[in-house]
Amino acid sequence: MNNRRYADTHSKTIGYILWLFGFTGSHRFYFGKPISGTLYFFTLGLLFIGWIIDLFLIPAMDREADLRFSEGPVDYNIAWVLHTFLGPFGIHRFYMGKWITGIIYLLTAGLFGIGYIYDYWTLNDQVHLINRSA
């Protein structure tokens, strides 16, 4: 039996808030599922059916993310909220201590949107690496 204690790195509450926009795949990106997040983005949450099913899958996605990602000085929830609402301005990158790319995002609207999309795919891993090295 595995008695490993895991950190609560992700929030079900934020997951459900992002689920409201789930037809864009945002909640799936948040829980570390970029491939299905992209699929949801291009198919409106698999024609809204997968989006509705995810309402019941969020607790399991939250547990999986909590087991997968490391706790540390950078909070996943804050990074994701900053990225979701202020990503093109690089505020999430400033929060993570990535000042140079934060300035680049600020001056180029998130590298003309490409960097913003890139961060949807990689933000969990970026925070995980920072937290593991801290």
User: Which DSSP symbol is given to 2?
Assistant: -
Which among 6, 11, 128, 13 is positioned nearest to 74, based on CA atoms? Answer: 128
Question: Exposed/middle/buried for 96, CB within 10 Å: 0-12, 13-18, 19+?
Answer: buried
User: Which DSSP symbol is given to 74?
Assistant: S
Domain count, the chain: 2
Structural domain that includes position 29? 10-68
Position 104 in a domain: yes
Tokens for 51? Answer: 């989006």
Which among 63, 3, 51 is positioned nearest to 27, based on CA atoms? Answer: 51
- Say if residue 5's pLDDT is above 50: yes
Tokens for 132? Answer: 């593991």
Shared domain for 76 and 134, answered yes or no, is: yes
Shared domain for 82 and 134, answered yes or no, is: yes
Tell me how crowded residue 10 is: count the other CB atoms within 10 A of its CB.
Answer: 24
Shared domain for 112 and 132, answered yes or no, is: yes
Shared domain for 34 and 61, answered yes or no, is: yes
Task: Kindly report, residue by residue over 53-109, the tens digit of the pLDDT.
Answer: 999 999 999 999 999 999 999 999 999 999 988 999 999 999 999 999 999 999 999
Position 5 in a domain: no
Shared domain for 47 and 17, answered yes or no, is: yes
Task: Kindly report, residue by residue over 7-43, the tens digit of the pLDDT.
Answer: 899 999 999 999 998 778 889 999 999 999 999 989 9
Position 40 in a domain: yes
The domain boundary, picked from 68, 89, 118, lies at: 68
Tokens for 82? Answer: 């900053």
